[in-house]
Chains A and B, each alone.
Chain A
Amino acid sequence: MLIDWIIFFGLAVVAIASGIGLLLSKNAIYAALNLIANFTAVAIFYLILAAPFIALAQIAVYAGAIMVLFLFVIMLLGAERLGGTSTLRWQRPLAIVLGLILIVETVLVFINRSGAIAPIVEVTADFGSPAAIGESLFSTYLLPFEVISVLLLAAMIGAIVLTRRRDQKA
């Protein structure tokens, strides 16, 4: 389908451009906005892959809740202007080396790919529906699901303990 190709490559351009924009923005607010655009593009990728639940969860949780918190903190602290010099000097060379390794590996995978692309599997009508996801979450993936919930609870308690003021100790 031609339309699928156009949508896919349009989205890919948006996703990559917003990713690069996030890295290059001098202003933290613009960086956050680029990240929101990136999350939204990824959400639409999920929609194309017949996973509406994941797509909307991505928008509600990442593009919505988490990024609103980020913006809120950036604005509250007045931290939108980033400092010119980086405090971690070894970080930039290391990042370049690691990035190069990633690109080389990707190219190698593409070159050495054995055989043709796997044929597209037709998805069933209830594929990716909330009911199907809920069922697999609470049966096949019950243990990881519960482990994550305990982890999140621990993180929440940790945040509350850390932000507690000293003089409030009862």
Chain B
Amino acid sequence: MDVALWIEWIIKALILVLGLLTGFAYLTYMERKFLARFQNRYGPNRAGPFGLLQPVADGVKLIFKEELIPAQADKLIFMAAPIITTVPALIILGVLPFGGVVNIMGREVPLSIAGNLNVGVLYIAAITSISVYGIVLAGWSSNNKYATMGGIRSSAQMISYELALALSFVGPIMLAGSLSLADIVEEQMRIGWFIIYQPIGFVIFLIAALAEINRAPFDMPEAEQELTAGYHVEYSGMKFALFMMTEYIKMIVVSAIAATLFLGGYHLPFVTDQPWGVWLGPFILIGKIILLLWGIIWVRATLPRVRYDQLMAMGWKVLLPIALFNVFLTSVIMVLFPNWFSH
């Protein structure tokens, strides 16, 4: 195989992972700052100008914390669970296109690791479905009733909302006629962003994704008042940091997927269509991700946590039927007006 291709892939993978890690650090800062503003406070403002060094201070603090392992814990799984949680969140964006094809020193380089993979959306669904293991195993191996309760809650919640989430992928797949995310973005360049054609699908995706990543108002697995912190109650130091990191990286990941499936990905009309606009693609995608992240934080600041039975009833009795109906509606419209779509 071409050696240059290997180097290209390694560089892209490094950029992706480092970008996600930096994104995580500054997303914690962004969340604390925004939450503070929503609650009429200042937020972190001591470490560095505007508190910008706060994530660094947090990181240093967590490194020096003592790592505790409960005496009755299942040691092997207890140690492995944070890693099992982190890896899926880091690799899921491998199929996301961050931009078109650029020319670097006479070499055609697509700005994604495997954006044109012909099973891209399925890859996302597959990785999503295995990302629940880390949380379940962390809860179980801690040998703590609150942690186990949190783990069981989160597995039940993620199984329930995965169905609606996967069904909300179907709309963009049908419109683009492809499982490849690069094709989905290119079709959106042609006929307009899919949020126009899939408003119901977009809302279902957002709700199901919030539940899938255990964010407020669906943060039942770590409800502080009842479970103290849920599945990661026994973790400390860097293992705890890995769980926090995964939660924030998952926020970035679902925002990136929402932006790609429904909001045109790296495309912005009249800008990225120009020959000089190719390099702007990743920045436009990041801009959309930040807007969606702001929405997620806003939701957390506004809505109270839903009760557990309400959560389950909503997932199975409301979200799933609407998602199925959305798939039905999309297919009917595509059959009735075949000229609107390319295939």
Interface of A with B (CB < 8 Å)?
A: 29, 33, 36, 52-53, 56-57, 59-60, 63-65, 68-69, 71-72, 75-76, 80, 129-130
B117: CB under 8 A from chain A? Answer: yes
Query: What DSSP secondary structure best describes chain A's contact surface?
Result: helix
Q: Identify B122's interface contact among A53, A63, A69, A75, CB under 8 A.
A: A53
Q: Which 5 A-B pairs have the closest CB atoms?
A: A64-B129, A60-B126, A59-B126, A56-B122, A56-B126
Beta-carbon contact of A59 and B77 below 8 Å: no
B179: CB under 8 A from chain A? Answer: yes
20 contacts between A and B (CB under 8 A): A29-B74, A29-B140, A52-B118, A56-B123, A56-B125, A56-B126, A57-B126, A59-B129, A60-B129, A63-B126, A63-B129, A64-B126, A64-B129, A65-B162, A68-B133, A71-B137, A71-B140, A71-B155, A75-B148, A130-B118
Beta-carbon contact of B136 and A68 below 8 Å: yes
Given A52-B119, A53-B119, A60-B122, answer yes or no on A72-B136 (Cβ-Cβ < 8 Å): yes
Residue of B74, B118, B127, B159 ringed by the most chain A CB atoms within 10 A: B118
B156: CB under 8 A from chain A? Answer: yes
Q: How many residues of B contact A (CB 8 A)?
A: 28
Count of inter-chain pairs, beta carbons less than 8 A: 70
Q: Using Cβ atoms and an 8 Å threshold, which residues of chain B touch A65?
A: 129, 159, 162
Residue of A29, A59, A68, A129 ringed by the most chain B CB atoms within 10 A: A68
User: Which chain B residues numbered 71 to 97 have a C-beta less than 8 Å away from chain A?
Assistant: 74, 77
Q: How far is the CB of A107 from chain B (nearest CB, A)?
A: 36
Q: How far is the CB of A7 from chain B (nearest CB, A)?
A: 13
Beta-carbon contact of A75 and B152 below 8 Å: yes
Q: How far is the CB of B103 from chain A (nearest CB, A)?
A: 25
Query: What DSSP secondary structure best describes chain B's contact surface?
Result: helix
Beta-carbon contact of A68 and B179 below 8 Å: no
Q: Using Cβ atoms and an 8 Å threshold, which residues of chain A touch B132?
A: 68
Beta-carbon contact of B118 and A129 below 8 Å: yes
Q: How far is the CB of A60 from chain B (nearest CB, A)?
A: 4
Q: Using Cβ atoms and an 8 Å threshold, which residues of chain A touch B74?
A: 29
Inter-chain CA distance A100–B123, complex, in Å, is 39
Inter-chain CA distance A71–B125, complex, in Å, is 19
Q: Using Cβ atoms and an 8 Å threshold, which residues of chain A touch B158?
A: 68
Inter-chain CA distance A142–B156, complex, in Å, is 34
B130: CB under 8 A from chain A? Answer: yes
B151: CB under 8 A from chain A? Answer: yes
Inter-chain CA distance A126–B137, complex, in Å, is 39
Q: How far is the CB of A74 from chain B (nearest CB, A)?
A: 9
Beta-carbon contact of A71 and B136 below 8 Å: yes
Residue of B nearest to A52 (CB): B119
Inter-chain CA distance A149–B137, complex, in Å, is 33
User: Which chain B residues numbered 194 to 218 have a C-beta less than 8 Å away from chain A?
Assistant: none
Q: Using Cβ atoms and an 8 Å threshold, which residues of chain A touch B152?
A: 72, 75-76
User: Which chain B residues numbered 57 to 80 have a C-beta less than 8 Å away from chain A?
Assistant: 74, 77
Inter-chain CA distance A57–B166, complex, in Å, is 13
Q: Identify B77's interface contact among A29, A53, A64, CB under 8 A.
A: A29
Q: Using Cβ atoms and an 8 Å threshold, which residues of chain B touch A76?
A: 152
Q: How far is the CB of B140 from chain A (nearest CB, A)?
A: 5
Beta-carbon contact of B125 and A60 below 8 Å: yes
Inter-chain CA distance A57–B158, complex, in Å, is 18
User: Which chain B residues numbered 131 to 163 have a C-beta less than 8 Å away from chain A?
Assistant: 132-133, 136-137, 139-140, 148, 151-152, 155-156, 158-159, 162
Beta-carbon contact of B140 and A75 below 8 Å: yes
Inter-chain CA distance A46–B141, complex, in Å, is 32
Beta-carbon contact of A36 and B133 below 8 Å: yes
Beta-carbon contact of A64 and B140 below 8 Å: no
Inter-chain CA distance A57–B127, complex, in Å, is 11
Inter-chain CA distance A68–B163, complex, in Å, is 14
Beta-carbon contact of A63 and B159 below 8 Å: no
Q: How far is the CB of B327 from chain A (nearest CB, A)?
A: 15
Q: Using Cβ atoms and an 8 Å threshold, which residues of chain B touch A71?
A: 133, 136-137, 140, 155
